[in-house]
Amino acid sequence: MDRTERLARNIMDDIGDHHIVVLCVLKGGYTFCVDLVEYIKVLSRNSSRSIPMRVDFIRLKSYCNDHSTDDMQIIGGGDLSILTGKAIVDTGKTMKVLLNHVEKFKPKMVKVAGLLVKRVTNGGGYKPDYVGFEIPNRYVVGYALDYNEYFRDLNHICLINENAKIKYQI
């Protein structure tokens, strides 16, 4: 929670007086997004400036078991014309496809916040603007992150062991 509050402070410093559209990437980003938005609201209430903010949702699906697939599905986000001319703070993990999609709506600014960033050798060179923690390249669950829709309900983040991967694979 301390790190999420720090990210909210950094976002407020960078955004200035721009209107913000928070685009939450479901399902794995919803808990972090809710916490981040709450900190931004609290900081805004306790400062001399009020930052108008909207929240919208989009869903990306790219995993089967613990492997990322090449089949990226963008689900939801029906009318993203609300992004035109707005500053966007996004939370999520599969950003290149989403950012290409979002840029079609000509936002004024796009910033990406990610609670976790994995240390990978061939990550494609993409790194969020705001990073909570850098973690080893291991599959984690909890805090809305899942393994085939299981474990989202955990209040903490943890590694999934091989027995659980076998038990819950599809």
3-class SS of residue 28? coil
- CA nearest to 55, candidates 72, 42, 38: 38
Q: Which residues are 88's β-sheet partners? A: 21, 110
- CA nearest to 28, candidates 116, 112, 169, 144: 144
Residues 6+ apart with CB under 8 A from 98: 25, 58, 60, 74, 90, 92
Active site residue 90: yes
Which of 2, 13, 90, 146 is the catalytic position?
90
Q: Which residues are 63's β-sheet partners? A: 68
Catalytic residue numbers read 90
